Structure 1
Amino acid sequence: MKTHFIAIGGSAMHNLAIALKDKGYQVTGSDDAIFEPSKSRLERKGILPQEMGWFPEKITPDIDAVILGMHAHQDNPELARAKELGLKIYSYPEFLYEQAKNKTRVVIAGSHGKTTITSMILHVLNFHQKDVDYMVGAQLEGFDCMVKLTQDNDFMVLEGDEYLSSPIDLRSKFLLYQPNIALMSGIAWDHINVFKTFDDYIEQFRKFVASITPGGVLVYNEEDPEVVKVVEGAENYFRKIPYKTPEYEINNGKVYLKTEMGDVPLSVFGAHNLLNMEGARHICQQLGIMDEDFYEAIMSFKGASKRLEKVEREDKGILYKDFAHAPSKVKAAVKAFREQFKSDKKHGFLELHTYSSLNPAFLEQYDHAMDGLEEAIVFYSEDALKIKRMEPISPEFIKEKFRNQSLRVFTNAEDLHAYWNTLDKTNGVFLMMSSGNFGGLDLTK
């Protein structure tokens, strides 16, 4: 099968391209910019475009499938050529469904926790050498590529994202998977540049539940009232399995899960991670993993990339980075940090740089998000606001919306970096929350 990727360099797209190459497909692609690690990984597989840009001449009648990434625009010249030739154009999730339509599809959805839960499931399955196909949005220890597609595996585990499928397919990605087994971890308004109201956002999850195949299974977080409303309002037939935060304790900085089989020591911390773990356990039960085997495997789970991930520093300072940027994720990460490091001075840094997080109307959602930290710092770039053609935001406005007048606010990277360099990184613990990089800040030094 001959496939061509428009915007091959994305974190998800390049993994799919590699998976298809490994499956024996003929793979080509284009992009106007490709960064590491995508660039090196595509190059090793021999599918890195020779030059950057869009080339309609690459789109030929013998291509079986064109896969369109979100990074491309509706007026992309390669897309126009594909339409002209009448080629089959797939979004990323649409193509994944084509690969998995004859398998049992397990889809992990939710505003927060879905990457971690998917990673936990894959870690347990890999530990017990149970082979499945999968797609997950973060790098996981022990896995070379975060997409796997085979002819023979019976199951496919998919991280289900509610964001749009492609520039020409405005459905939420997870609506294309039609799960046999599903999980919903939580609902907290996100992507407000696309979903203008909270009800519009929730509607995507209503549709997701409605897409579960007849007689399927939904594992859901019963501690989230919005999730419970969606589940109780569903009209289709499926089996419902609720879960909640399990009992645990912290002894000498180590988290222990309380189970019928005794205390299970863990390598991760935070109540939200324990809640995620309970959801993962119920999904693994559906895949034939007994609780005893689940606990044996989960002890060695160290977390998904950038999810409360410890950074090894030259000075041995204690620093964790987290992908948290949406309000619910920030609050969960800060709560976990406060609980884990009760006696230490806690420094929390948050970068606001997505459209949602810089929207004045949405900033209300961050109220008290940084409370309980001895030092709380928020960084956003005034230049980024200009580039995004958004209205200026004052530091005073940020403090007001966070309900925290002791916040220290930086609006340019140079000042932030200068302040960072004055801090003794061995005095206290540091939590760095961003889906960006704080203007190029080196967290290892």
Structure 2
Amino acid sequence: MKIHFIAIGGSAMHNLAIALHNKGYKITGSDDAIFEPSKSRLDNKGLLPVEFGWFSEKISIDLDAVVLGMHAKKDNPELLKAQELGVKIYSYPEFLYEQSKNKTRVVIGGSHGKTTITSMILHVLNYHDISVDYMVGAQLDGFDTMVHLTEENEFMILEGDEYLSSPIDRRPKFHLYKPNIALLSGIAWDHINVFPTFENYKEQFKIFTDSLTNGGIMVYNEEDIHVKAVVEGSEHTIKKYAYSTPNHKIENGITYLDTAVGAMPLEIFGSHNLQNLAGAKWICQHVGIDEEEFHEAISSFKGASKRLEKIAENKSTVVFKDFAHSPSKVMATTTAVKKQYAKKTLLACLELHTYSSLNAGFLKEYVGALDKADKAVVFYSPNAVKIKQLKEVSEIQIKEAFQREDLIVYTDPKKFKEFLFSENLENTVLLLMSSGNYGGLDFEEVKSLLN
């Protein structure tokens, strides 16, 4: 098959392009800019466009399909040409469904924990040499790509994102997968630029629950009141399996999970991660892994990339980098780290970087999110606010939103770095939470603080 990618350079899109190339498809693509690591990975496979930009002449009737990425606009010249010629156009999730419609589809959904749970499942299956097709939102140790597609594998494990499918398909991605088995980890308002109210956002998870195949299986976190209401309130003909935080203990900075054969040390920690583990266990059991096999494999799981990733440690100090940016994720991560390192000072630094987090109307959702930190810092760039065409946000608004009088706020990357490098980190856990890089902070340089 000949497939053309409009916006091939995206994190998800380039992985799908490589997966199809590896499957033997003839792949071409375009983009107006491609950054690392996508650029090198596409180049290594001979898939990097010769020049950047949009070229309508790349679209012809001999294409079997076009895959359209979210980065493209409605008036993209290649998209307009494909529409004119009647070439079949797929969004990213539509194409993944086409590739898996004859398989058992397992879809992991929720506002938080999706990538970690999907990663846990793949880690366990990989440990036991069980081959499955998959799509996950982060690069995993031991896996070449974030997307893997075959003809022969029985299962397809999909991370189910609730964000929009394409510029011409405004449905959330996870509405298009029609799962046989699904999981819902939590519901906490996000993507306010698309879902302006919490009720509207919550409705997407109701639609997802009702999109399961008849007789399908829904695994859900009963400790999340919104998930519980959505799943238990559904009248769809599905089987429902609830999970919650498993019994565990923390000793000397290590979390031990209670199992049938005794306490088992884990590489991960935090109530949210233990809930993720419990959900992943249910999914693995439905795929054919028994409890003992699951525990044997999960003990070596170190976490998904950028999710509570330990980047440096010495006898006195630990440094974590985490992708947390939404209020619920920030609170869960901060709470987990403080609980795990109760005798250390927790210095939590949060960058407000996303559209939602920089929105003046949404800021109030952060109330209490940093309360567990002994010292709390918020960094944001006024320039990022302008780029996203949002109203200006003041330092006073930030402090009022978090409702923490001793909150330290920085808007200048240099001053934030000076603060960080002047801090005494003796007996401290430094937690850096962001989907950005604090205006250019070099994390390798941060590691040197421990030398």
Tell me the TM-score range normalised by the shorter chain. Answer: over 0.9
1:52-63 to 2 correspondence within 5 Å? Answer: 52-63=52-63
Unaligned runs of 5+ in 1: none
Q: In 1, Cα distance between the equivalents of 2:29 and 2:224?
A: 41
For 1:133, the equivalent position in structure 2 comes to: 133
For 1:389, the equivalent position in structure 2 comes to: 389
**Matched letter for residue 412 of structure 2:** N
**What whole-Å deviation, never above 9, does each CA across 1:195-250 have from its counterpart, x for those lacking one?**
01111101100000010000010000000110111112212101000000001001
For 1:375, the equivalent position in structure 2 comes to: 375
C-alpha contact (below 8 Å) 1:347/1:429 kept by paired residues? yes
1:420-439 to 2 correspondence within 5 Å? Answer: 420-425=420-425, 427-439=427-439
The structural deviation recorded for 1:261 is 2.0
For 1:248, the equivalent position in structure 2 comes to: 248
Q: In 2, Cα distance between the equivalents of 1:25 and 1:63?
A: 11
C-alpha contact (below 8 Å) 2:12/2:137 kept by paired residues? yes
Farther-moved stretch of structure 1 (315-324 vs 49-58):
315-324
CA RMSD of aligned residues (A): 1.3
Q: In 1, Cα distance between the equivalents of 2:269 and 2:225?
A: 24
1:92-111 to 2 correspondence within 5 Å? Answer: 92-111=92-111
The structural deviation recorded for 1:344 is 0.9
The structural deviation recorded for 1:314 is 10
For 2:81, the equivalent position in structure 1 comes to: 81
C-alpha contact (below 8 Å) 1:315/1:426 kept by paired residues? no
C-alpha contact (below 8 Å) 2:316/2:427 kept by paired residues? no
C-alpha contact (below 8 Å) 1:7/1:71 kept by paired residues? yes
The structural deviation recorded for 1:405 is 1.0
For 2:167, the equivalent position in structure 1 comes to: 167
For 1:224, the equivalent position in structure 2 comes to: 224
Q: In 1, Cα distance between the equivalents of 2:15 and 2:423?
A: 38
1:359-374 to 2 correspondence within 5 Å? Answer: 359-374=359-374
**Matched letter for residue 18 of structure 1:** I
**Matched letter for residue 4 of structure 2:** H
The structural deviation recorded for 1:312 is 3.6
The structural deviation recorded for 1:372 is 2.1
Unaligned runs of 5+ in 2: 446-451
Q: Secondary structure at the match of 1:383?
A: helix
The structural deviation recorded for 1:412 is 2.2
For 1:266, the equivalent position in structure 2 comes to: 266
Q: Secondary structure at the match of 2:443?
A: coil
Q: In 2, Cα distance between the equivalents of 1:405 and 1:7?
A: 45
For 1:190, the equivalent position in structure 2 comes to: 190
Corresponding position: 1:443 with 2:449: no
User: Identity rate of aligned residues, in percent?
Assistant: 62
**Matched letter for residue 418 of structure 1:** E
C-alpha contact (below 8 Å) 1:313/1:444 kept by paired residues? no
The structural deviation recorded for 1:425 is 4.4
Q: How many residues align?
A: 445
C-alpha contact (below 8 Å) 1:376/1:408 kept by paired residues? yes
Q: In 1, Cα distance between the equivalents of 2:314 and 2:248?
A: 32
C-alpha contact (below 8 Å) 2:316/2:428 kept by paired residues? no
The structural deviation recorded for 1:316 is 8.9
**Matched letter for residue 403 of structure 1:** Q
**Matched letter for residue 162 of structure 2:** E
C-alpha contact (below 8 Å) 2:135/2:148 kept by paired residues? yes
Corresponding position: 1:318 with 2:315: no
**Please, what TM-score do these two structures have when normalized by structure 1?**
0.98
For 1:34, the equivalent position in structure 2 comes to: 34
**What whole-Å deviation, never above 9, does each CA across 1:325-372 have from its counterpart, x for those lacking one?**
011100100011110111111110101111111111111110010112
Q: In 1, Cα distance between the equivalents of 2:74 and 2:2?
A: 23
For 1:329, the equivalent position in structure 2 comes to: 329
Q: In 2, Cα distance between the equivalents of 1:17 and 1:416?
A: 39
1:335-354 to 2 correspondence within 5 Å? Answer: 335-354=335-354
C-alpha contact (below 8 Å) 1:314/1:444 kept by paired residues? no
Q: In 1, Cα distance between the equivalents of 2:148 and 2:101?
A: 15
C-alpha contact (below 8 Å) 1:2/1:26 kept by paired residues? yes
Q: In 2, Cα distance between the equivalents of 1:372 and 1:333?
A: 10
